[in-house]
Structure 1
Amino acid sequence: MSVPILVLSILLVIVSTILTLFVLLHKGRGGGMSDLFGGGMSTSFGGSSTAERTLDRLTIVLGLIWIAIVVVLLVLYRWFP
């Protein structure tokens, strides 16, 4: 295994973990996984719409980074088996 593949694989694991946490942080829109982790209680505390938008943007950017890493890994595995 080459060094770029190893580095990107480790980076993929880190980005995947952070992306999972960001998705779980989103406010529940009515009975789902977020309610399982206490999301139903957070509705009474209220939330800043700016914070929600920032979390949405960070999640989208992290998702795009995740996709880019996967594509680069596919290319590297194709050319450097």
Structure 2
Amino acid sequence: MTIALNIGLIITSLLLIVLVLLHRAKGGGLSSLFGGGVQSSLSGSSVVEKNLDRLTIIIGLLWVIFIVGVGLDIKYS
């Protein structure tokens, strides 16, 4: 159980990092320093943005569930 929770936590953490980095920059933050301010023809669709938002929220919720699971596993083991 512990190994499955840790593997799930690592996978969701990596997915969450990738998904957050895929979001288009709306302001002049750190992402504009690395070329995020340049408009891309692939990220112009609002449907893609909405689906990316939904997927990020779902992966974020799974990440929280894995965090709670690991915490409970540590507490009761």
| Residue in structure 2 matched with residue 22 of structure 1 by the alignment | 19
| Residue in structure 1 matched with residue 10 of structure 2 by the alignment | 13
How far the C-alpha of 1:31 sits from its partner, in A, is 1.0
Q: Percent identity?
A: 43
* TM-score normalized with structure 2 length: 0.88
Larger Rg belongs to: 1
Segments of 4+ moved more than 3 angstroms: none
Long gaps (5+) in structure 2 = none
How far the C-alpha of 1:74 sits from its partner, in A, is 0.8
The structure that is helix-richer by fraction is: 1
CA RMSD of aligned residues (A): 1.4
Long gaps (5+) in structure 1 = none
Matching of residues 1-80 of structure 1 within 5 Å: 4-42=1-39, 45=41, 47-80=44-77
